């Protein structure tokens, strides 16, 4: 990333452990967040653990604050991750850029790659997973099910490596073609491959055994890479970024 592009983000109050991975001259950026950081605050109490430590306008989908010089500043959030998921999130310093990139997500023209540590081993690899999901939202909670829904979900799964310990875990690569809430977590669980540390759709007994055996207590889902093309200022532009896999994902016996 060029220094001039990075300057657009120099004074942004990034959250704890959040890093700027890539940024282009239009202010489009890929930020990498640790597990436990929120994509945006749901209220003042969440500022300390938010991607950007600033108030968030849900209607405009942007962070708002006043910098040291008294100038109003904005950062537009483009996509989101569950707080328990680590890795890449896109944001922009320009609202028009954010709108254009969001449209690429809606058209399914953004390539995303995740890595997940799961209990068990896929029966075949690679494999394309297709499901119909239902998503319910209420009381500040989201729940997704593979029963009785109407939302098509598709993902390409590839086995990276598998262990042979008493509790078998495997590292898999996931390339979602759709972006449903909790999609990857539910699709993994449905196939008997619950994500290690998933406290909602996972195997709770196996999670406890994993931690007792020396594993870290986190959900092992990581947004590793993202790439897309978008139009801005009359030009076709390409953008890509990658966030290294956290060291704890290497815990395969």
Give 174: exposed, middle or buried? Use CB within 10 Å, 0-12, 13-18, 19+.
buried
192 CB contacts (<8 Å, ≥6 apart)?
120
Alpha carbons 120 and 168: distance in angstroms, whole number = 5
Q: Where are the beta strands (DSSP E) in 125-234?
A: 127-138, 141-145, 151-162, 169-176, 221-232
Strand 221-232 to 86-92 pairing: parallel
Active-site residue numbers? 82
Alpha carbons 43 and 50: distance in angstroms, whole number = 10
Strand 151-162 to 169-176 pairing: antiparallel
Alpha carbons 244 and 31: distance in angstroms, whole number = 12
Q: Which two tokens stand for residue 146?
A: 């593979």
């Amino acid at each position: 990333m060029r220094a001039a592009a990075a300057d657009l983000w120099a004074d942004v109050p990034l959250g704890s452990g959040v890093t700027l991975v890539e940024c282009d001259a239009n202010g489009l950026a890929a930020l990498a967040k640790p597990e436990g950081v929120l994509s945006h605050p749901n209220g003042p109490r969440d500022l300390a653990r938010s991607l950007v430590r600033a108030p968030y306008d849900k209607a405009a989908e942007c962070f708002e604050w006043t910098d040291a010089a008294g100038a109003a500043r904005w950062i537009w959030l483009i996509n989101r991750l569950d707080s328990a998921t680590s890795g890449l999130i896109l944001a922009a310093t320009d609202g028009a850029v954010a709108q254009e990139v969001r449209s690429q997500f809606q058209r399914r023209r953004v390539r995303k790659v995740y890595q997940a540590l799961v209990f068990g081993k896929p029966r075949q690899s690679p494999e394309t997973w297709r499901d119909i999901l239902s998503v319910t939202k209420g009381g500040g909670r989201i729940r997704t099910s593979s029963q009785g829904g109407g939302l098509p979900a598709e993902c390409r799964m590839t086995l990276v490596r598998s262990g042979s310990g008493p509790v078998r875990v495997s590292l898999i690569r996931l390339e979602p073609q759709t972006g449903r809430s909790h999609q990857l977590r539910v699709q993994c669980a449905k196939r008997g491959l619950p994500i290690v540390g998933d406290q909602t759709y996972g195997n709770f007994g196996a999670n406890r055994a994993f931690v007792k055996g020396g594993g870290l207590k986190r959900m092992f889902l990581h947004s590793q890479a993202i790439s897309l093309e978008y139009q801005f200022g009359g030009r076709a532009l390409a953008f890509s970024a990658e966030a290294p896999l956290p060291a704890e994902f290497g815990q395969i016996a």
